[in-house]
A and B are shown apart, each in its own frame.
Chain A
C-alpha cells in the first residue's frame, strides 16, 4: 500500500507540475501586458531593422556592414564622411600633411573622451593600429594597413617585423604621427574606415577576451553608447552618449536595432510603426518602389563573372569577349533582380570614387562590353577559328542564394542562345565552398562579387594584378600591372591627375581583354518612415550613418 501511495504522489505531483507551469506562464503574461504600453516606440528613438546579427563589436575584427554600422554609432575615428561621401575630420582636430605627402600629424580633440571618463589619446590609435597589423590578431582587414601605405605595414603583416615598427607614433598624449612609405591620395578617406578606429588599451587589457560581450565590456567615444547587448543579439539598444564631443548636434535620444531575417515580418513591423527603417528584399522592391517612403541607394558591390583563363578555351580573348557581350545585363537588373540593381558595363562602380576633377570616376570614364549579340557572335566566330574548336562546355559556379541562382539561370539561357555551341552547366554551392573552389582555381566560370573597401578605383583594380591573391582567374597583363603598381607606390602615386587618367586606362585594358565579365552593380532599397530624415547612405565603407538623423 505504501508503495502505491508513493507512486500516486509522484503521478499527481507531475500532473500538477504540468498544470502549474502552464498557469504560471499565463498569469505572468497577464502581469506583463500592463508593461507593454511603455515599450511602444519612444519618439526620439530610431528603430532599425537589420537582417543579420552583429558578428563583432571589435573594430579590428569586424568585417560586415551591420557590425560596421553599430561600431560607428559608438566609436569615432580620426575622420568621418559627410553626406556626399567626402572625408571630414571627426576626432582629428587638425591635420598636418607634409609636403611630400609622407607624414601626417593629427591633433586629437581635447574634448574627446571614452565613456569611462578617460581621454581619447594618440596612444589609443597606436595600440589599435598595431593590433590591426599584427598577424596574430588574425584581422581580415589587416591588409588595409598596407593599402594605407604605412611604413613597414606589409612587413609587419607578413610577420617579418614587430608591430612596434609600424609607422605610427604618439608624439604626446594628443598628437599622432603617421609615416607613410608612399603618398596615398585617399589616405584621409581611409581614416574613416572602421578598422582604423581606436580602442583604449587599458580597458582592453582589463576586459581581455571578454571585450564586446556585454554593455559593460564595451567602451564608446562616439555619438551613442550601447545599453543592451550580447553576442549575436537580436536586439541592440543604444542611448545617446552625453559625453560625446558633438553631443549638442545629436538629435536622437537613442537607437534600437532589431534583427529580423524574415523580410515579410520586417515589413509588417514597419507598417505597424514599430520600425523606422527596414531593408527591402527581392520582390518587395518592385512592390513598394512607388511609395514615397521608398529609398533606393546604390551599393558599391559589383557582381561579375570571373573566367578562369587557365581553362582551355577561356585563355582566348575573343571567346571571353563573346561571353561578356552575350547576355542582357539590363534585363537581369530590371526584370530578374528588380532590387534597384543596374547593368554594369564597367568594373569601377558608380558612386565609388571622386577624382581630382571633383567628378565621379564613371562620369569621365568609358563603358565597355555592353550587351551586343551581333558583336558577340562575331567574336565567337573568330574564337572558334583561333581555337579550332566548335563547341565549348563551361561550368558556372554560383552560390545557393535565390538571387544568384535566378541570375545564373538567365545567364545560362542567354549565353547559350546567343553563342551557338556554348553550353553552360550551373553548379550551385554554399558561398564558402564557391570561394574555396575559386581560390583553388578549380572552376571554369564563377559568378562572384566584390565590395569596395575604400573610395578609390584601386579597391577593384588591384584585385586583378598578376598573381594577386584575389585574382582567381589568373588573368595577366603587363601594362595593367605596371599602371597599378605605379599608382600604389610608383611615379603615378605622386601625381594625382595623371594617376586618375592612368586608372581609367587600366580599366580599359582589363575590359578590352574581358579579363572579367561585369554583370551588374547591386542596388539597395530601404523603406524609411516619412518623419525620419538625415540618414546618410554610402556606397563604400560605412553604408549608413545616423549622426544627423532627425525624427519628428
Chain B
C-alpha cells in the first residue's frame, strides 16, 4: 500500500511538470502580448518585455519559471494588478474559492446522500418520486440560474441574505452562492446513491445480514452504504475539483473575489503569470483529489486494495 501511494505521488509530480511545460508552450501561441496597449509605444513595450524577461529564449524562460515556482514565486501580474506578486493574488483568492467549494460540496453531498438513501428505502413511493424530481431539476438546471433566482428572492425581495459578497458578512456571505452551487452536487449524489442503494439492498449479502437480525441504521450505514459508496466517491472526485476551483458565473453574480473570475480576466488581458499559476493550481488540485479518491477506494474496498497490491508487488 505504501509503495503504491508513493508511486502515485511521484507520478503526480511528474504529470504536473509536464502540464506546466505544455501550458508554457501553449501560452506562447496566445496572440498579442500583455503590453500591447494604445498608450505604449513599441520602444516602451520592448522595455517592459525586457524588464520581465519575456525576450529571452523560451527554454530559458521555462526553466527560470520552474525554478522560481519551486520556491513559491509565481512571478508578477502584468495587467490585472500591476507588479503584484501572483502568489499574493492566489493567497487572497484561493481560500475563498476553496471555502465556498468546500461548503457547497459538504452541503450537497450530505443532503444528496440522505435524499438518495430515503428514496432507495421507500422505493417507488411518493418520497422516491419527489427525490427523483429534485435530482433531475438539480442536474438539468445550471447553477447560475439558481444563483440568479436565489439572489433575487432571498437577497433582493426578502432581504434575508446578502446579495453580494462582503468580508464583513462572514460566512453568511456564502449562504446563497453555496446553496446555488450545491444543487448539482446534491442532485448527482442523490441519483447515484439511490441507484446504488437499491442494488445493494437487494443483494444477497444484505439479505444475509438482515436475516441475522441486523437492521435499522446499523444495516444501512455500516453494511449497505459502505458498499454503495465506491461509485459515489467516483463521481464526487471531479465535482469536488470543479467546485473548489470556483465557478465563474456564480462568482460573478455574487461578486465573490475567487479564482474563477481571476482566470477569465487573466486570459482576456494576456496576464501570462496569472494564467500559468491558476492552471497549475487547477491541475494540482485535480491530481491531488484523484489521488485521494484512489486511496479512498483502497480503504473502502479491500478487493481493490488487494488487487493493486498484487499488481504493484
Segment touching A, from B57-65, B105-113, B125-133? B105-113
Docked complex Cα distance between A15 and B236 (Å): 14
Instruction: Report yes or no: B36 in contact with A28, Cβ–Cβ below 8 A.
Output: no
Residue on A nearest B92 in the bound complex, by CB: A230
Task: Find B255's partner among A8, A11, A209, A261 (CB 8 Å cutoff).
Answer: A261
Number of interface residues of A (CB under 8 A): 65
Chain A residue numbers with a CB within 8 Å of B23 are: none
Residues B129-182 near A (CB distance < 8 A)? 151-152, 155-156, 159, 162-172, 174-175, 178
Instruction: Report yes or no: A136 in contact with B51, Cβ–Cβ below 8 A.
Output: yes
Instruction: Report yes or no: A228 in contact with B167, Cβ–Cβ below 8 A.
Output: yes
Segment touching A, from B8-16, B81-89, B191-199? B81-89
If A36-B169, A56-B82, A135-B44 touch, whether A262 touches B253 (CB-CB below 8 Å) is: yes
Residues B6-63 near A (CB distance < 8 A)? 31-34, 36-44, 47-48, 51
Segment touching A, from B200-208, B262-270, B283-291? B262-270
Chain B residue numbers with a CB within 8 Å of A36 are: 162, 169, 172
Chain B residue numbers with a CB within 8 Å of A228 are: 167
Instruction: Report yes or no: A469 in contact with B41, Cβ–Cβ below 8 A.
Output: yes
Question: Smallest CB–CB gap between A418 and chain B, Å?
Answer: 30
Chain A residue numbers with a CB within 8 Å of B42 are: 439, 469
Task: Find A25's partner among B37, B178, B252 (CB 8 Å cutoff).
Answer: B178
Chain A residue numbers with a CB within 8 Å of B167 are: 228, 235
Instruction: Report yes or no: A430 in contact with B163, Cβ–Cβ below 8 A.
Output: no
Chain A residue numbers with a CB within 8 Å of B300 are: 7, 11
Dominant SS among interface residues on chain B: helix
Instruction: Report yes or no: B257 in contact with A25, Cβ–Cβ below 8 A.
Output: no
Instruction: Report yes or no: A232 in contact with B89, Cβ–Cβ below 8 A.
Output: yes
Chain A residue numbers with a CB within 8 Å of B296 are: 14
Residue on A nearest B31 in the bound complex, by CB: A433
A364: interface (CB < 8 Å): no
Instruction: Report yes or no: B299 in contact with A55, Cβ–Cβ below 8 A.
Output: no
Instruction: Report yes or no: B169 in contact with A39, Cβ–Cβ below 8 A.
Output: yes
Instruction: Report yes or no: A21 in contact with B151, Cβ–Cβ below 8 A.
Output: no
A424: interface (CB < 8 Å): no
Instruction: Report yes or no: A53 in contact with B81, Cβ–Cβ below 8 A.
Output: yes
Instruction: Report yes or no: B253 in contact with A56, Cβ–Cβ below 8 A.
Output: no
Instruction: Report yes or no: A430 in contact with B31, Cβ–Cβ below 8 A.
Output: yes
Residue on B nearest A27 in the bound complex, by CB: B171
Instruction: Report yes or no: A435 in contact with B38, Cβ–Cβ below 8 A.
Output: yes
Contact with A along B86-111 (1 / 0, CB 8 A): 00110011000000001100110110
Residue on A nearest B226 in the bound complex, by CB: A11
Chain B residue numbers with a CB within 8 Å of A548 are: none
A138: interface (CB < 8 Å): yes
Task: Find B299's partner among A10, A25, A58 (CB 8 Å cutoff).
Answer: A10
Docked complex Cα distance between A235 and B255 (Å): 9
Question: Smallest CB–CB gap between B111 and chain A, Å?
Answer: 9
Docked complex Cα distance between A262 and B178 (Å): 18
Chain A residue numbers with a CB within 8 Å of B175 are: 29
Question: Smallest CB–CB gap between B296 and chain A, Å?
Answer: 8
A481: interface (CB < 8 Å): no
Docked complex Cα distance between A29 and B176 (Å): 11
Chain A residue numbers with a CB within 8 Å of B166 are: 39, 235, 258
Instruction: Report yes or no: B82 in contact with A58, Cβ–Cβ below 8 A.
Output: yes
If A32-B170, A39-B168, A231-B88 touch, whether A142 touches B44 (CB-CB below 8 Å) is: yes
Chain A residue numbers with a CB within 8 Å of B299 are: 7, 10-11
Question: Smallest CB–CB gap between B237 and chain A, Å?
Answer: 14
Task: Find A18's partner among B33, B109, B254 (CB 8 Å cutoff).
Answer: B109
Residues A43-82 near B (CB distance < 8 A)? 53-56, 58, 61-63
Chain A residue numbers with a CB within 8 Å of B93 are: 232
Docked complex Cα distance between A262 and B89 (Å): 22
Chain B residue numbers with a CB within 8 Å of A272 are: 156, 159, 163
Instruction: Report yes or no: B171 in contact with A28, Cβ–Cβ below 8 A.
Output: yes
If A53-B80, A141-B39, A268-B151 touch, whether A32 touches B172 (CB-CB below 8 Å) is: yes
Question: Smallest CB–CB gap between A405 and chain B, Å?
Answer: 15
Residue on B nearest A259 in the bound complex, by CB: B255
If A7-B300, A21-B102, A234-B256 touch, whether A268 touches B82 (CB-CB below 8 Å) is: no
Question: Smallest CB–CB gap between B236 and chain A, Å?
Answer: 10
> A32-B172, A269-B164 provided; 18 other pairs, C-beta below 8 A?
A7-B299, A8-B222, A25-B171, A33-B172, A58-B82, A61-B83, A63-B39, A136-B51, A138-B47, A143-B41, A143-B44, A231-B81, A258-B164, A262-B255, A272-B159, A435-B38, A436-B32, A469-B41
Which 9 interchain pairs have the tightest Cβ spacing?
A231-B81, A432-B32, A32-B170, A234-B257, A469-B41, A56-B82, A231-B84, A22-B106, A232-B81
